[in-house]
Amino acid sequence: MSTISPQPASGLSTPSTLLVTDKPSVYYDGGCPLCRAEIATYQQAAGGDSLAWVDAQACGVAELGSGLDRSNALARLHVRRADGTLLQGAAAFAEIWSVLPGWRWLARVARLPVVLPLLDVAYTVFLRIRPLWRPSSSIVDKLPLQLQRELRTDHAGETGAVMIYRGILAVSRDPALREFAQHHLETEERHLSLVEERVPSRLRSWLIPLWRLSGWLTGALPACFGSRAVYATIQTVETFVNHHYAAQIKLIDDFSQQASNDVRADAAAVEIAHELQSLRDLLEQCRLDEVAHRDDAAGRWDGHSGMFISIWRLIVARGSEAAVGVCRYV
């Protein structure tokens, strides 16, 4: 394996260095005892030395190569073929099996129609229960469970927020409304990326496709009826989100207060206190943006809801509450 200077790749992020190898590379989570044991089986099998094995927990960033960050590499098994194609999940397993002579029969079975998607479902279920075996490596895992659940709702909420504005942009041709949606979309994408940095894949909601769809509809449906309906919707959503973030900030303050009362403050407690403060700063930054979104929307319409808009706002407000309630657990 050798290292060369980076070459820009269209549509891919460019790491500081790229690894070039004539072998397929396997990126696995060396912090997970089950993953380690399985990988060791493949490494020791005939042909195991024809793959490059990369422990995504211990390797340098450059070793992950283009288009793969550490969080994703730890979340799911990845394989990069020698031609640079990146595979993940069941397809990555099938690629490993296809290289090892003693396992090729399994690769052939896995690549039969329908089998690979089913294996992917089974692998996703395994990833959900993997934390039972995997020692925690993320500070988020050390936060109180209640706060972890709240972070799951934040990730789902920011995912939905991005989709709301995409829904508006997909439907509306009103220049002022599109400029409004585009501006808010950029903020929501930044929120989502900041939250994704904090919330590992294993802590995220299982129902992300549902939250994406409902977010899109929450933007697209009112956009069919004009800008007033959209502004009323955004004002309602952002009012809810402001209260949601404010309640979480209060929760963090309560946890921080309890921690500061703990006389046994060791290094781990100090680390958690730092994380709580950092999380608080992030949520407050998001909350202030949501308040600006709410006020921006409120300033763009007269605030007089007819029956249709009133009913719609009620659906949006109650729907947001219900979604958060479900998302805490699923």
Distance CA(77)–CA(95), nearest Å, equals 11
Report in angstroms how near the CB of residue 198 gets to Fe ion at its nearest. Answer: 14
List the beta bridge partners of residue 20: 2
Q: Which of residues 96-155 bind Fe ion (CB under 5 A)?
A: none
Distance CA(88)–CA(80), nearest Å, equals 9
Structure tokens at 182: 């585009």
> Judged by CB, which is closer to Fe ion: 191, or 280?
191
> Judged by CB, which is closer to Fe ion: 172, or 233?
233
Q: Which of residues 252-311 bind Fe ion (CB under 5 A)?
A: 290, 293
Report in angstroms how near the CB of residue 146 gets to Fe ion at its nearest. Answer: 21
DSSP codes of every residue in 65-102: -TT--HHHHHHS-EEE-TTS-EEETHHHHHHHHHHSGG
> Judged by CB, which is closer to Fe ion: 95, or 188?
188
C-beta neighbour count of 134 within 10 angstroms: 19
Report in angstroms how near the CB of residue 184 gets to Fe ion at its nearest. Answer: 6
Structure tokens at 169: 């942009």
Q: Which of residues 164-193 bind Fe ion (CB under 5 A)?
A: 188, 191
Residue nearest to Fe ion (CB): 191
Structure tokens at 87: 């595979």
> Judged by CB, which is closer to Fe ion: 134, or 280?
280
Among 161, 195, 252, 327, binds Fe ion (CB under 5 A): 161
> Judged by CB, which is closer to Fe ion: 130, or 243?
243
Q: What are phi and psi of 300, to 5 degrees?
A: -105, 0
The beta strand positions in the chain, using DSSP E, are: 2-4, 18-20, 25-28, 52-55, 78-80, 86-88
Report in angstroms how near the CB of residue 188 gets to Fe ion at its nearest. Answer: 5
Report in angstroms how near the CB of residue 267 gets to Fe ion at its nearest. Answer: 33
244 part of the interface to Fe ion, by CB under 5 A:
no
> Judged by CB, which is closer to Fe ion: 55, or 290?
290
Q: Site residues (CB under 5 A) for Fe ion?
A: 158, 161, 188, 191, 290, 293
